[in-house]
Amino acid sequence: EAQVTQNPRYLITVTGKKLTVTCSQNMNHEYMSWYRQDPGLGLRQIYYSMNVEVTDKGDVPEGYKVSRKEKRNFPLILESPSPNQTSLYFCASKRIDSNQPQHFGDGTRLSIL
Amino acid sequence: QKEVEQDPGPLSVPEGAIVSLNCTYSNSAFQYFMWYRQYSRKGPELLMYTYSSGNKEDGRFTAQVDKSSKYISLFIRDSQPSDSATYLCAMSVEGNKLVFGAGTILRVKS
Q: CA quadruple A35, B34, B89, B96: dihedral positive or negative?
A: positive
Residue type, A34: W
Residue of B42, B94, B103 with shortest CB distance to A106:
B42
pLDDT above 70 for B36: yes
Could you read off the pLDDT of B39-61 as tens digits, one per residue? Answer: 999 999 999 999 888 899 999 99
Three-class DSSP category at A83: helix
Q: B65-91: string of b/e by CB count within 10 Å (b at 16+)? A: beeeebebbbbbeebeeebbbbbbbbb
Whole-number Å distance between alpha carbons of A62 and A68: 18
Q: How are beta strands A54-57 and A42-51 bridged, if at all?
A: antiparallel
pLDDT at position A40 is 85
Distances (CA, A) of A1 to A5, A25, A26, B18: 11, 10, 8, 33
Closest residue to B102, CB basis, from A33, A40, A50: A40
Query: Percent of chain A scored above 70 by pLDDT?
Result: 99
Cα B48 from Cα B70, distance rounded (Å): 17
pLDDT tens digits along A12-58: 999 999 999 999 999 999 999 999 999 888 899 999 999 999 999 99
| B11 reaches A (C-beta below 8 A) | no
Q: Is 90 exceeded by the pLDDT of residue A111?
A: yes
- Per-residue pLDDT at A98: 65
Please name the residues in contact with B38: beta carbons below 8 A apart, sequence gap of 6 or more: B44, B45, B85, B86, B87, B88, B103
Cβ density class B6-41: b for 16+ within 10 Å, e for less: beeeebebeeeeebebbbbbeeeebbbbbbbbbeee
Chain B residues within an 8 Å CB radius of A35: 100
pLDDT > 90? residue B94? no
CB A83 within 8 A of CB A15: yes
Query: Are B97 and A90 an interchain contact pair (Cβ–Cβ within 8 Å)?
Result: no
Report whether pLDDT(A74) > 90.
yes
